[in-house]
Amino acid sequence: MFHVVLIEPEIPPNTGNIARLCLAAGARLHLIEPLGFSLDEKSLRRAGMDYWKECDICIWPSFDALQAEAPQARFFFFTTKVERPYWEASFADGDHLVFGRETKGLPESLLSAQPEHCLTIPMQPGARSLNLATSVGIALYEGIRQASQSGAA
């Protein structure tokens, strides 16, 4: 199983699309607080997340708490601030694919702490960024593709 980690997500429909993607791919979604929205039933319904209870979702008070719970896990950080494309990484079952807030991306402290695990999704010059759900889809299915080719999926 792959793990998708959203650090302080801000936009409910993006998180809903990512939750649906994780459900379809058999991945676990980890949400790192604070969230930019409420997870009460009324808010979830309004955001079109009627399948939310079917998803494998864990909510964490901090990224440190998640890392402490999974000390042997590998974490890959997706950012526009590096040059290494995601396809140069060798993903494996159990990996955590980490994405930042829609407006600010990942904190610099995470990126500088593990530069060898920072990856980007290349874009044409002048493109600011991809939608968060699109980025997660690209990375998650590349991980699944690699794992299936190695027989680990």
Can you give the residue range of the structural domain that contains 140?
3-149
pLDDT tens per residue across span 49-59: 677 888 999 99
pLDDT tens per residue across span 60-85: 999 999 999 999 999 999 999 999 99
pLDDT of residue 141: 98
CA distance 101 to 112: 17
Query: What is the pTM for the complete model shown?
Result: 0.94
For residue 106, the domain's CATH number is 3.40.1280.10
Mean pLDDT for the chain overall = 92
How many structural domains does the chain have?
1
Query: At residue 37, does pLDDT exceed 80?
Result: yes
CA distances from 94 to 13, 148, 152 (A): 26, 13, 10
Rounded to an integer, the average pLDDT of 11-31 is 93
